[in-house]
């Protein structure tokens, strides 16, 4: 199992690896955007394609040892591309206070590695 959380870092400012897990960058979000100053998810502006996701901190745990999340989150599927979405590579936990996770599912929120 993987536990991830969004950092406020840009990949150019990371000089040291995390003490545990890995940093991932280069993921593209489709269906919402991120406010760069507060690092919160918001509705996507019309006619905007993808929004780059800030650096993601990923930690892996055995299935029986994964820490429980404090609040409900949307499991955003991560695909290789939108052109041929097959099985998701993994799922990213997306959460925002005051907004139910079902909202992101209804908007069709997905993430891709390639920007197409």
Q: Determine the average pLDDT of the residues in 67-95.
A: 83
Terminus-to-terminus CA distance in the chain, angstroms?
27
Q: By CB neighbour count within 10 A (0-12 exposed, 13-18 middle, 19+ buried), where does 94 fall?
A: buried
Query: For the chain, what is the domain count?
Result: 1
DSSP reduced 3-state for 58: strand
Residue 43 lies in a domain: yes
> Is 17 part of any domain?
no
CATH number at residue 79: 3.10.490.20
- Domain boundaries, position 76: 2-10+22-65+72-112
Q: What is the Cα–Cα distance from 30 to 28, expressed in whole angstroms? A: 7
Residue 88 lies in a domain: yes
- Residues 27, 59, 61, 39, Cα dihedral to 10°: -70
56, 4 contact by CB (below 8 A): yes
Mind listing the pLDDT tens digit for each residue in 17-63? Answer: 888 899 999 999 998 888 877 777 888 877 778 888 888 889 888 87
**Looking at the predicted structure, is the pLDDT value of residue 115 above 90?**
no
């Amino acid at each position: 199992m993987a536990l991830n959380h969004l950092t406020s870092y840009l990949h150019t400012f990371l000089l040291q690896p995390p003490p545990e897990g890995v940093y991932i960058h280069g993921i593209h979000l489709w269906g919402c955007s991120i406010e760069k100053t507060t690092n919160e998810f918001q509705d996507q502006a019309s006619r905007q394609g993808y929004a780059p996701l800030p650096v993601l901190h990923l930690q892996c745990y055995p299935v029986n040892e994964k820490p429980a999340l404090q609040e409900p989150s949307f499991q955003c599927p991560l695909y290789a591309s939108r052109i041929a979405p097959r099985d998701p590579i993994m799922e990213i936990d997306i959460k925002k206070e005051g907004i139910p996770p079902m909202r992101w599912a209804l908007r069709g929120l997905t993430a891709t590695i390639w920007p197409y």
